[in-house]
Amino acid sequence: NAGVTQTPKFQVLKTGQSMTLQCAQDMNHEYMSWYRQDPGMGLRLIHYSVGAGITDQGEVPNGYNVSRSTTEDFPLRLLSAAPSQTSVYFCASSYSGTGLHFGNGTRLTVT
């Protein structure tokens, strides 16, 4: 099993550009989520999904969109990148009520 796979590992964007962070898991987990991690602020939930076709907002959803067309994939879209979105992004998945499996993260810099 590959677990949770995130791509790319690093990305530099200019303000206003859009991009999609990819996330895929091969553990048949129904729950998937996106977190951002900033220094001194822990991990904050952006969006989550409890199954294919179902998504919902977390703590900090503004500026991001998600979709869940399959159980395996949960891409995160940045609509118009801003410097405040410079962060490390983690995708995670799990069975409901159990510990999260995290991907290796995407380090995003917006200039």
Partner 1 sequence: GQQVMQIPQYQHVQEGEDFTTYCNSSTTLSNIQWYKQRPGGHPVFLIQLVKSGEVKKQKRLTFQFGEAKKNSSLHITATQTTDVGTYFCAALTGANNLFFGTGTRLTVIP
**Mask: binding to partner 1, 76-105, rule CB under 8 A, as x and -?**
--------------x-x-x-xxxxxxxxxx
Structure tokens at 24: 């895929």
Contact status, residue 32 vs residue 58, Cβ threshold 8 Å? no
Half-sphere exposure of 66 (CA within 13 A, CB side): 30
Name the residue with tokens 């409901």. 96
* Residue of 107, 106, 100, 108 lying closest to 3 (CA atoms): 100
Which residue of 44, 67, 72, 82 would you call a contact of partner 1, by CB under 8 A? 44
Say whether residue 1 binds partner 1 (CB under 8 A): no
Shortest Å, Cβ 104 to partner 1: 5
Residues near partner 1, by CB under 8 A: 31, 33, 35, 40-45, 48, 50, 56, 58-59, 90, 92, 94, 96-105
